[in-house]
Amino acid sequence: MTKNRKHHPQSCIQRLTLPRKDGGRGLIDIVNLHNAQIANLRSYFHNKNTSLHIAIVQNDHKFTPLNLLDKTTKQSNEITISNQNKIEEWAKKSLHGRHYRDLNLPYVDKKASNEWLRRGELFPETEGFIFAIQDQVIETRNYRKHIMKTQNAIDVCRKCNNPLENIQNITGSCKTIVQTEYKHRHDQVANIIHQELALKYNLIKIPRTPYYKYKPELMLENSTHILYFDRTILTDKTTHFNRPDITLVNKIEKTALLIDIAVPNTHNIQSTVAEKITKYTDLKIEVKRMWNLNTVTIVPIVISTTGVIPTMIHDSIKTIGLHKNIYIILQKAVILNTCRIVRKFLQID
């Protein structure tokens, strides 16, 4: 797999044979199968008390690979490695274990975070690459200096001079690509949501187009709804944050949703959700008053750069009335974009 670029040589080996729903690649553990087979056959012969079986056992002194005469060898559970064992090994590792710990945070939906894997729609190369990103073994300058211990290596970001070029700096916090690469990834998520809302409320008549080709209209309106994309909302009172990604007004029920999207690094997902809500509170009050609405709701849609899903996303999706599985499409778009960003970033050096 390494030779064919489907598994990074420094990536976590335990993840290869763990089930996909648990964050692994789901390959068959052939060593385990082999060892289990030996243990099963040995115990079969040792427990059968017919004269034939007894004769075979007595004569097999290193005559077959089962070596049946020696009854001291180990039982199945002693020579095979359980998934629980592998998970513990993975969790223990200082670099590889970080993604494991992210998946087990109280505000993370572990099952949803591994859904892209369970569905297996990406190329094996892409899977291997996002695993290397999650395992933090991508050769960033920080990795070279502190893990490979390359002499005289510097770990200042090659693009923005941030003192630390680690994988998180590349996937979500390098200042030089905020307006280009990160914006593109963010907009793809916004486009998916915009198109789904436009279709749901009959604001567009054309059939669904692939999200990477979809261009949202700045304003769509019919007799029941208005949908704004990336529109500055002018208010009487100054509000510092007055440009949510998507604004949906329900004219009949007199309600509005202020939808804002973010793709932060995993360690920032919790704070990003809180930040969105505080940021738009002034706007929410102003919009409710100016447009004479019954309710205005701030809806943060947050997915981590490596596809980790916070549990709150399900509430957000429910609030905006989209299908509960829409997050799977968002997750795939984010993962593909993060892979593209990291590849592009590293080619420059």
CA–CA dist 199, 208 (Å, integer): 8
**# of chain residues touching Zn ion (CB under 5 A):** 5
> Please, what is the minimum distance in Å from the beta carbon of residue 161 to Zn ion?
7
> Please, what is the minimum distance in Å from the beta carbon of residue 174 to Zn ion?
3
List, in sequence order, the alpha helices (H) in 147-280.
167-168, 183-200, 269-279
User: SS3 breakdown of the chain: % helix, strand, coil, rounded to 5?
Assistant: 50, 10, 45
- Rg of the chain (C-alpha set): 27
Mark 242-278 as b/e (b = at least 16 C-beta within 10 Å).
Answer: bebbbbbbbeeeeebbbbbbbbbbbebbbebbebbee
Question: Which residue number, 118 or 159, has a Cβ lying nearer to Zn ion?
Answer: 159
CA–CA dist 333, 303 (Å, integer): 10
| x/- track of binding to Zn ion for residues 93-132 (CB under 5 A) | ----------------------------------------
Question: Which residue number, 127 or 165, has a Cβ lying nearer to Zn ion?
Answer: 165
Sequence-separated (6 or more) residues with CB below 8 Å from residue 298: 244, 258, 260, 276, 277, 280, 281, 284
Which residue type is seen at 339?
A: C
Question: Which residue number, 67 or 162, has a Cβ lying nearer to Zn ion?
Answer: 162
Question: Which residue number, 182 or 228, has a Cβ lying nearer to Zn ion?
Answer: 182
> Please, what is the minimum distance in Å from the beta carbon of residue 265 to Zn ion?
13
> Please, what is the minimum distance in Å from the beta carbon of residue 94 to Zn ion?
23
C-beta atoms surrounding 223 within 10 Å: 7
Question: Which residue number, 174 or 299, has a Cβ lying nearer to Zn ion?
Answer: 174
> Please, what is the minimum distance in Å from the beta carbon of residue 159 to Zn ion?
4
| x/- track of binding to Zn ion for residues 149-188 (CB under 5 A) | --------x-xx-x-----------x--------------
Question: Which residue number, 30 or 348, has a Cβ lying nearer to Zn ion?
Answer: 348
Using CB under 5 A, which residues numbered 241 to 300 contact Zn ion? Answer: none
Which residue type is seen at 131?
A: F
Q: Which is it for strands 225-229 and 295-302: parallel, antiparallel or unpaired?
A: unpaired
> Please, what is the minimum distance in Å from the beta carbon of residue 82 to Zn ion?
42
Residues contributing to the site for Zn ion (CB under 5 A):
157, 159-160, 162, 174
